Amino acid sequence: MAGNPARQPGRVPAAAPRSRTEAPHRHGTCHRRGGRPVVRLVLTLLALALFPACGWAEGNLRLTITAQGNPHPVVGEMVPFVIRAVYDRKIANEKLEIAPSDSFDWIQTGPDDWHEEMIDGLRWIVMERHLAIWPKRAGPLQFGPARHRLTIIDTQSQRRDVVVEAKPLSLSVGEFPAQRGWHFTGRALELTDSLSADPARLADGQILTRRVTLRVLGALPEQLPPRPVVSENWLITFAQPVERNLILTAEGPVAEAVWAWQFRPHTGEPGVLEPVDIPWFNTQTRRIENARIPALTIGYASFYTGQVPTGRLGAWQVAELAGSVVLGLLLGLGIAAVRLAPDGVGAGWRRIRDRWSPLLRLAYRRALARGDLLTARRLAGRIGLPAHRLAALERAIYDPRAARPSR
């Protein structure tokens, strides 16, 4: 083979020409057999050039989806799971994609965890992403697949783009146990009821604020039931907007709903709000349980004490009551005196009234100003002018030459 001048690199070499009459010899035979390893080598190089994404060239890359909860959940039950990647190559860039599905609600429950692990005596790069899903219908369902788009650095320090895919997660989902009412599940439930005042001992006109907080471990906020309706003829009710929150904890996601009302009774007579039951499916006990908002009695304290909250009169109440009594007595005595008094007494009251009346004195001055002496004399007698002024006024009336009296 070393003596073949017609060989070209990258091509399979051709056999050397020979005459028909030339007898075969071992050298020619060795030449034909020796070309087979070369053909294999060239084909291998071509395969490496055409298929750079082969697994053995990229390294050992594994991606899996593993459920960590009940493999046979019911509709609406949380199933936690983890997407785990194990790589023996350095990662320059990455993007994890999950196929969309209308059969589940899902969230990521924590940040991605990148770390190194010793597996079978070798150091591997590991990525874990924790998620939770809630199936929306019954039957056999699949979540995924998941694809991890990577830019790896191979053994020759070259960057290569590869895609690692994990098989879908298969679940067998059962029907929700209860067929009526609102459906939601959880691992644990907590209900708190707080009040701004003693509901049965409100001050007159006071507004009571009630705040009920519902927290469920292993649920989403939109899965919690709507706010209970409160409507009573004897009660004025204002419902505040509902607050819904999602809280991520080490135990899992916690859904929170806050319901708040403001109440004011129409009358002082107390009334009772009936209790409200909230059924839910406990995924730990696998049965329907009941949470209850307790009954509530609302009323004014004055209904029990006859408008006296402490059962005793205060100082201001005593003063107000005494003033009302005195004013009533004076008014009654005045009316009786006017109606029952004899004529002489009545005339005396009228003289006192006229003598101190500013309106009569004003009318007297106006009569003098316009020269109406007769009217001025009549008014002067009613307002009680002294005798010498009355005499001067009379002289002016009957003697035109007399001086007109002053005002």
The full set of domain ranges for the chain reads 29-53, 59-173, 185-305, 316-398
Highest mean pLDDT among 29-38, 130-139, 177-186, 374-383: 130-139
Dist. CA 281–CA 76, nearest whole Å: 9
- What amino acid is encoded at 23 in this protein? A
Torsional sign, CA 115, 116, 117, 120: positive
| Confidence category of residue 4, pLDDT binned at 50, 70, 90 | very low
Q: What distance lies between CA 301 and its chain's CA centroid? A: 34
Mean pLDDT computed over every residue of the chain: 81
Nearest to 16 by CA among 7, 42, 8: 7
Helix (H, G, I), strand (E, B) or coil at 299: coil
Contact (CB, 8 A) for 53 and 160: yes
Residue with the bigger pLDDT between 289 and 404: it is 289
pLDDT at 132 over 90: yes
The answer regarding whether domain 185-305 maps to CATH 1.10.1740 reads no
Residue with the bigger pLDDT between 311 and 366: it is 366
Q: 59-173 and 185-305 share one CATH topology? A: yes
How far does the chain reach from its first CA to its final CA, in angstroms? 159
pLDDT for position 48: 43
pLDDT for position 316: 60
Torsional sign, CA 330, 334, 340, 345: positive
Location of structure tokens 């009680």: 384
| Confidence category of residue 339, pLDDT binned at 50, 70, 90 | low
pTM of the model as a whole: 0.60
pLDDT for position 243: 98
- Six token digits for residue 339: 């109606």
pLDDT in tens, 41-89: 555 555 444 443 333 345 689 999 999 888 799 999 999 999 999 999 9
What number is the average pLDDT over the span 180-188?
93
Alpha-helical (H) ranges within 86-227 are none
The answer regarding whether domain 59-173 maps to CATH 1.10.10.60 reads no
